[in-house]
Amino acid sequence: MKSIIIIALYYFVPIVLCLSSLTCGRGDNAKPVIEKLILPTTVQPGETAVFKVVALDPDGDQLTYIWMINGEISSTKLSTMIWEVPQILAGRKIDVVISVSDSFNEPVVTKSPLKIQAFDTRHPKNMVLIPVGEFEMGTGADQIPQLLRSAKQYFPDAEASWFENETPRHKVCLDAFYMDIYEVSNAQYKKFIDKTGYHPPLYWNTFNFAPNHPVVGVSWHDAMAYAKWAGKRLPTEAEWEYAARGGLVGKKYPWGDAEADGKRANFADKTINLNWSNKNVSDGYKYTASIGAFPPNDYGLYDMAGNVFEWCFDWHDAGYYAKSPEYNPTGPISGTMRVIRGSSWSYPPTRMRVSRRIEKHPTSMLDYVGFRCIKNVVP
């Protein structure tokens, strides 16, 4: 008896509802048919892309179109979509979903998202475009007590003054630039030496040498010479920190706020017996790891935390943030020490914070310091 009632409800209720509805008078309505999609397979960031859909309605109803690009409704109504491709999408996939409706039935939607590769052919190999933008650089004074507590796990003598050169937190606006996806490798540096006769780095033959490991034992001057030869330059501190943050806002590390486990970066873990090693975690590397061995940040940059420190262009001045210009700051005009960023295999996980600043003499050649380069978008 119960099942008969259910069957009756199933068949009759919709009919009753249907008769009471104006649109259901089109029970014989034919759905629109998507005949053709005209989409490029690659599009250029910064340029205009044109997407078209050719659809027909068998009973001549007027069609409306909804375009969804990367999950956002970008345009409605028209069968042609004209779209400015954002710079940030260089080298990435774009999802385009098209929905066509005659307003009587559920809309017809393309079966699965169409994937289009946005590819900037002008963009240099093994570099990624870091978009124009602004960010909060440095550390707020209010964060220092918490940072000090974390640091004391590894350095019991840590003091609040260790963090003062990161303050005040301040707004910085930067032009777009290309950045090396990886730290400069031994293989890349060897090419430079072979072509130019430049002197080899310290530790070239003794320290963990492998072609795909980051070069170490290079001074700031060496890094500058390589960058010039490669047609690139060293990042400013501001460019480096902006890129390391990968678009995240106010986070400690390139991946967020969590302290590194063994899967995020190469730091002083339990494979190396230093006073400040994290004795509970293994990242699998005692010294350097090959470049790109850990996941990239959201800009696609590898090893912005750990592996080797990276030379920046700027002179170090602990008080610079209080007087830094807002647009494209390039550091003090003079000084005695240059900045290194990002930490290395030889320091504990807390040192890998994106805002952490360390000073080194520009002639130092250290087995935990390398570099990567950047390039202006407009030369």
Name the site residues for Ca ion (rule: CB under 5 A).
29-30, 57, 59, 61, 102, 266, 269, 283, 285, 303, 307, 342, 345
- The least distance separating Ca ion from the CB of residue 42, rounded to whole angstroms, comes to 31
- The least distance separating Ca ion from the CB of residue 26, rounded to whole angstroms, comes to 7
- The least distance separating Ca ion from the CB of residue 265, rounded to whole angstroms, comes to 8
- Residues 348 and 279: beta-carbon distance below 8 Å: no
Q: What angle do CA 74, 377, 342 make, to 5 degrees?
A: 95
* C-alpha–C-alpha distance, residues 175 and 137, integer Å: 15
- The least distance separating Ca ion from the CB of residue 285, rounded to whole angstroms, comes to 4
Question: Residue 82 corresponds to which tokens in the numbers above?
Answer: 């004209």
Closer to Ca ion by CB, 110 or 271: give it. Answer: 271
Q: What angle do CA 129, 263, 220 make, to 5 degrees?
A: 50
Identify the sign of the CA torsion 197, 200, 201, 207. positive
* C-alpha–C-alpha distance, residues 358 and 136, integer Å: 19
- The least distance separating Ca ion from the CB of residue 10, rounded to whole angstroms, comes to 26
- The least distance separating Ca ion from the CB of residue 374, rounded to whole angstroms, comes to 14
- The least distance separating Ca ion from the CB of residue 126, rounded to whole angstroms, comes to 15
User: Which amino acid, residue 231?
Assistant: G
Closer to Ca ion by CB, 180 or 269: give it. Answer: 269
Identify the sign of the CA torsion 292, 276, 250, 177. negative
User: Which amino acid, residue 139?
Assistant: T
Closer to Ca ion by CB, 69 or 265: give it. Answer: 265
- The least distance separating Ca ion from the CB of residue 276, rounded to whole angstroms, comes to 12
Using left for φ > 0, alpha for ψ between -120 and 50, and beta otherwise, residue 46 falls in: left
Q: What angle do CA 220, 151, 160 make, to 5 degrees?
A: 85
Short-list 366, 375, 196, 192, CA closest to 288? 366
Closer to Ca ion by CB, 185 or 307: give it. Answer: 307
Closer to Ca ion by CB, 120 or 283: give it. Answer: 283
Q: What are the counts of helices (DSSP H) followed by strands (DSSP E) for the chain?
A: 5, 18
Closer to Ca ion by CB, 69 or 352: give it. Answer: 352
Closer to Ca ion by CB, 49 or 253: give it. Answer: 253
Closer to Ca ion by CB, 192 or 309: give it. Answer: 309
Per-residue CA distances from 342 to 99, 303, 354 (Å): 46, 8, 6
Closer to Ca ion by CB, 167 or 188: give it. Answer: 188
* C-alpha–C-alpha distance, residues 154 and 350, integer Å: 8
- The least distance separating Ca ion from the CB of residue 321, rounded to whole angstroms, comes to 22
- Residues 14 and 7: beta-carbon distance below 8 Å: no
Per-residue CA distances from 219 to 198, 199, 288 (Å): 13, 11, 18
- The least distance separating Ca ion from the CB of residue 376, rounded to whole angstroms, comes to 22
Closer to Ca ion by CB, 59 or 84: give it. Answer: 59
* C-alpha–C-alpha distance, residues 160 and 75, integer Å: 52
Q: Which residues contact 321 (CB under 8 A, 6 or more apart)?
A: 137, 138, 165, 166, 167, 168, 169, 170
